[in-house]
Amino acid sequence: MAERLNGRVAVISGAAAGLGKAAAIRLAKEGAAVEILDLKDASAVAEEIQAAGGQAHSILCDCTDEEQIARAAKEIEARHGRVDILVNNAGILTGRKPWHTLTKEEVNRYVQVNYIGYFLVTKAMYPLIKKSSAPRVIMVASRTYFLANPGQMSYVASKGAVMGMTRVLAKEMGDEGITVNAVMPGMVATPGTMEHSQEEAFNRVMNNQAIKRRVTPEHFAGLIAFLASDDAELITGQMIICDGGGYLH
């Protein structure tokens, strides 16, 4: 059976681990050639995909650094000539800290990585995305924007900015047929969240859900694959929460 993303080229940032890694594996399984951008060496993920018969490359890239992103875009252009799917996912998570104890540098770091990084990667890939006949931009935002978790101001605000960007880009790029959507995790166990939260916190979140099952990176990977597919051609400017019904808006 033909896979629904056969022949597509997907760029995924922050796919050395966590949600990005699961998305890279899933998009490759559905037929896409995957390009991973990460600060950390993601060659193990690329090799895992190749061993399963898929196509993948990993590129070391700090997604806040314009020069490194431009180099990555050049490499991807040389390899594929275009980008069909861009998943902006590289981000930093947070613990809790009262807002008045935050420094300018701390707030700025979240803005730089979680928001400006998405902007820079999207801008650099735009000329390649325009060459696609099924162009998709998918942002990984966060449900915390709606919950407004106390102690997470810098993180929540940076992810709120991603939602604003998603909505504006959806309108600005609509005439080019480019869809722009955001997916919003609640609390998914990944290396990033496990740095700040214990098992008990994940269970507490799960027990507040309509469906009391742990949400996994693979659930997000499935949602991202759907948004990348032809079936989602006219879904744009949307924020889609996948949290087992923990937050209903």
Among 188, 206, 225, 242, which residue sits at the site for ligand NAD (rule: CB under 6 A)?
188
Q: Does 193 bind ligand NAD (CB under 6 A)?
A: yes
Nearer to ligand NAD, 81 or 191 (CB): 191
d(CA 220, CA 190): 12
Site map (CB under 6 A) of ligand NAD, residues 47-76, x = contact: --------------xxxx------------
Q: Which amino acid is residue 66, in one-letter code?
A: E
Could you tell me which stretch among 26-34, 127-135, 183-191, 228-236 binds ligand NAD (CB under 6 A)? Answer: 183-191
Least gap, CB of 81 to ligand NAD (angstroms)? 24
Nearer to ligand NAD, 128 or 140 (CB): 140
d(CA 165, CA 161): 6
The SS3 assignment for 84 reads coil
Q: In what order do the strands lie in the sheet with 239-242?
A: 55-60, 33-38, 9-13, 85-88, 136-140, 179-185, 239-242
Which pair of structure tokens corresponds to residue 208? 């507040």
Nearer to ligand NAD, 164 or 174 (CB): 164
CB 54 within 8 A of CB 28: yes
For residue 79, which of 58, 53, 49 has the smallest C-alpha distance? 58
For residue 94, which of 28, 159, 1, 178 has the smallest C-alpha distance? 159
d(CA 242, CA 232): 16
Could you tell me which stretch among 49-57, 97-105, 182-190, 235-243 binds ligand NAD (CB under 6 A)? Answer: 182-190
Structure-token match 């930093």, residue found: 92
Catalytic residue from among 118, 126, 155, 247: 155
Q: Sign of torsion, CA 218 112 165 79?
A: negative
Nearer to ligand NAD, 3 or 62 (CB): 62
Among 5, 11, 19, 59, which residue sits at the site for ligand NAD (rule: CB under 6 A)?
19
User: Where do the DSSP E strands lie in the chain?
Assistant: 9-13, 33-38, 55-60, 85-88, 136-140, 179-185, 239-242
Establish whether 145 is a catalytic residue: no
Site map (CB under 6 A) of ligand NAD, residues 125-144, x = contact: ---------------x-x--
Nearer to ligand NAD, 226 or 247 (CB): 247
Where in the sequence numbering do the catalytic residues fall?
Answer: 155
Q: What residues line the site for ligand NAD (CB under 6 A)?
A: 13-14, 16-20, 38-40, 61-64, 89-93, 113, 117, 140, 142, 185, 187-188, 190-193
